[in-house]
Structure 1
Amino acid sequence: MEDHSYLTSFSIIHRFSILYHIKELKKFKISGHQMGYIMCVCKQPGISQEALSSYLRLNKGAVAKGVRPLIEEGYIRRVQSSRDRRAYELYPTEKAQDLHVEAERTMRSFDRILTQNMTDEEQQLFKSLVTVACNNVLEAAGEDRHELTQPGPPPGCGRASRGRPASEAGKRHR
């Protein structure tokens, strides 16, 4: 395999991950992007659309647009919040729960493909470094996820420094 920059490698992994999941979950007739909504709603039944938006780092309009077909297809139920009549809570249907089980299996399978030639120690280090890199990007994005200008974590997203001070969290492991 030719030498790729990390951005090229991330792009290849992301693209093939989506293709793999679409192929494996073809019978459910959903896109790879819709999977994130379903997984989150199944793990957190009753999550508000606003909290889902914050968790997935998407704007509220994108989440509303992404959830709508899942409601229409019977994967998600949208219920008006009893605490805030302007807000909606999202709940998985049985159809979503069935998909969730298959998706978890598919994710474990892809994880095995991704890390198949790594030792257990290398797998842990890889996952740790990718998490640190992701947190660095989120911190750099701050409130405005479209521009990497002002440092600062988005709401509800702390640094996963694994016990290291923030100043050391991004330092290279040796």
Structure 2
Amino acid sequence: MTEILRDIGMIARALDSIANIEFKQYDLTRGQYLYLVRIYEQPGIIQEKLAEMIKVDRTTAARAVKKLEENGFIERKDDEENKKIKRLFPTNKGKEVAPYILAENAYSNAVALNGLSKEEAEVLSDLLEKVRENIEVDWNAVKKGQKRNYNY
């Protein structure tokens, strides 16, 4: 059986390590850039949706959001209709940094796909999307307290 998850893990850790080093100059610590760029791309997103998008638990998302807010990258605003809902928006500081994060992402994508034809890159993208969708089923189930059956 192919150990694709090992390769995906190595790729993810390598890119995360590179990004953590490169974004240190902006005072973004481990992984915060992921949250900031999603908020930048979807201003007004709620924290729960953000956590779901990044595939982390609510507590992890809450810590990252709090740190981004403390460091002036984002701000919370009350929802206009439901004051219990807090929407997340990038501040001017967040809006200044986000394009660098997006540029790093575009560069990393180009490096990762180097040597692949356009068709190969599209096939890879489609296959990885299927893999992600498969994993999301278990992620959602486990998040809700279900156990996975390892006797497949």
Same fold (TM over 0.5): yes
Query: Partner amino acid for 2:125?
Result: K
Structure 1 residues 148 and 40: alpha-carbon distance in aligned structure 2, compared to 1, 3 A threshold: farther
Cα shift at 1:126:
0.9
Alignment check: 8 A CA contact 1:20 1:110 kept: no
**Residue in structure 1 matched with residue 12 of structure 2 by the alignment:** 14
| Structure 1 residues 27-66: aligned runs within 5 Å | 27-66=25-64
Structure 1 residues 48 and 27: alpha-carbon distance in aligned structure 2, compared to 1, 3 A threshold: same
Gaps of 5+ in 1: 151-174
Counting helix residues as a fraction of each chain, which structure ranks higher? 2
Structure 1 residues 59 and 105: alpha-carbon distance in aligned structure 2, compared to 1, 3 A threshold: same
Higher relative CO (Cα under 8 Å, sequence separation at least 6) belongs to 2
**Residue in structure 1 matched with residue 148 of structure 2 by the alignment:** 149
Query: Partner amino acid for 2:97?
Result: L
Alignment check: 8 A CA contact 1:141 1:147 kept: no
Alignment check: 8 A CA contact 2:74 2:89 kept: yes
**Residue in structure 2 matched with residue 91 of structure 1 by the alignment:** 89
Gaps of 5+ in 2: none
**Residue in structure 2 matched with residue 166 of structure 1 by the alignment:** none
Cα shift at 1:136:
0.7
CA distance in structure 2 between the partners assigned to 1:64 and 1:137 by the alignment: 23
CA RMSD of aligned residues (A): 2.0
CA distance in structure 2 between the partners assigned to 1:147 and 1:6 by the alignment: 25
CA distance in structure 2 between the partners assigned to 1:8 and 1:52 by the alignment: 26
Query: Partner amino acid for 2:31?
Result: H
Cα shift at 1:60:
2.3
Cα shift at 1:6:
1.3
- Give the SS at the match of 2:75: strand
Alignment check: 8 A CA contact 1:77 1:92 kept: yes
Structure 1 residues 109 and 71: alpha-carbon distance in aligned structure 2, compared to 1, 3 A threshold: same
Query: Partner amino acid for 1:129?
Result: L
| Structure 1 residues 51-130: aligned runs within 5 Å | 51-130=49-128
Cα shift at 1:101:
0.4
Structure 1 residues 143 and 80: alpha-carbon distance in aligned structure 2, compared to 1, 3 A threshold: farther
- Give the SS at the match of 1:144: helix
Cα-to-partner distance string for 1:105-164 (whole Å, 9 max, x where unaligned): 1011111111112111111111111111001110233343376639xxxxxxxxxxxxxx
